[in-house]
């Protein structure tokens, strides 16, 4: 006979047997217990990172904690891990929020020594930190034969932003091809947004370039919306032509071209 839910437990309780005890939760093996490491002082964390006998797990947790408590003395020990296939991401996690300028120097120094995904990781960290001194290095890498490296370099230039970055990305628009070109276009869009507050004229020039029909549709539509919201151009300024053809049919921004 099928018993109603809870009926078996009720009978067991009535007979004094009670429900079966749950098995105890498995304990964390000591070699994979990160809590003691998380509680360490910065000096001990650094010792773990430097110790060649420390495990990958120990160094990974130490780097994560150093993201919160690490100072200048933590930079070089973690920078040595940027070429480590397993620990590089943890080293960058620990380095990125560190306010000391030596982090930027370490990342720039590591950049030409790395290849592939490891190099992509450092490029991204440079963008996150908005290191304008790395623009020349990143500009060269936009031409890299590795599309992931080239795309990461373009994205980081966009994150750094500023007038020089906008010029770098506009030049890259004219020479890059898929799969790098769409990344460059999106980076241009980000850079133009950052320029609006301090260099509106240059920002609108970037948006104008991005409104061309050769740019990816989401980027083009975003640029057209900004141009539409910008209102009439001041006397003597460049006119921004409305979209034509298929772009005009699909665009719903209401952009009709800016008056001279």
pLDDT tens figures, 126-177: 999 999 999 999 999 999 999 999 999 999 999 999 999 999 999 999 999 9
Measured distance CA(132)–CA(123) in Å, rounded = 12
The domain ranges of the chain are 33-100
Measured distance CA(104)–CA(208) in Å, rounded = 33
Q: What is the pTM of this model?
A: 0.80
Are the C-beta atoms of residues 169 and 195 closer than 8 Å to each other? Answer: no
Can you list the positions of beta strands (E) in the chain? none
Measured distance CA(235)–CA(40) in Å, rounded = 64
The pLDDT of residue 67:
97
Residue 28 tokens read as: 């964390």
Collapsing DSSP states into helix, strand and coil, what is residue 188?
Answer: helix
Residue 234 pLDDT > 70, yes or no?
no
Residue 260 tokens read as: 């001279």
The percentage of residues in the chain with a pLDDT greater than 90, rounded to a whole number, is 70
Distances (CA, A) of 179 to 83, 93, 115, 139, 188: 26, 27, 19, 17, 15
Residue 240 pLDDT > 70, yes or no?
no
Instruction: Assign 236 a pLDDT band (cuts: 50, 70, 90).
Output: low
Instruction: Assign 242 a pLDDT band (cuts: 50, 70, 90).
Output: low
* Residue-wise pLDDT tens digits, 13-35: 555 565 667 887 778 888 888 99
| Cα dihedral sign, 82-130-224-177 | negative
Residue 228 pLDDT > 90, yes or no?
no
| Distant-in-sequence, close-in-space partners of 111: CB < 8 Å, separation ≥ 6 | 119, 122, 123, 126, 134, 137, 141
Residue 39 pLDDT > 60, yes or no?
yes
The pLDDT of residue 259:
36
* Residue-wise pLDDT tens digits, 170-194: 999 999 999 999 999 999 999 999 9
């Amino acid at each position: 006979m099928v018993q109603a839910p809870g009926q078996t437990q009720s009978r067991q309780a009535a007979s004094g047997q009670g429900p079966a005890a749950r098995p105890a939760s498995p304990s964390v093996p000591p070699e994979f217990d990160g809590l003691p490491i998380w509680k360490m002082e910065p000096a001990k964390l650094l010792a773990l990172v430097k110790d060649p006998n420390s495990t990958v797990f120990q160094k990974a947790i130490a780097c994560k904690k150093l993201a919160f408590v690490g100072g200048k003395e933590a930079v070089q020990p973690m920078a040595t891990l940027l070429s480590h296939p397993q620990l590089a991401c943890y080293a960058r996690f620990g380095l990125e929020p560190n306010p000391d300028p030596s982090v930027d120097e370490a990342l720039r120094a590591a950049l030409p020594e790395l290849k592939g995904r490891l190099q992509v990781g450092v490029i991204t960290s440079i963008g996150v930190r908005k290191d304008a001194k790395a623009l020349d290095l990143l500009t060269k890498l936009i031409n890299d034969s590795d599309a992931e490296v080239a795309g990461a370099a373009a994205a980081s230039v966009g994150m750094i932003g500023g007038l020089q970055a906008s010029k770098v990305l506009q030049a890259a628009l004219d020479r890059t091809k898929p799969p790098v070109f769409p990344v460059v276009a999106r980076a241009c869009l980000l850079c133009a947004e950052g320029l609006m507050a301090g260099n509106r004229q240059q920002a609108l020039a970037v948006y104008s370039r991005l409104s061309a029909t050769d740019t990816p549709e989401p980027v083009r539509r975003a640029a057209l919306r900004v141009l539409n919201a910008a209102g009439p151009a001041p006397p003597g300024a460049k006119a921004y032509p409305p979209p034509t053809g298929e772009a005009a049919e699909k665009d719903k921004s209401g952009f009709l071209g800016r008056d001279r």
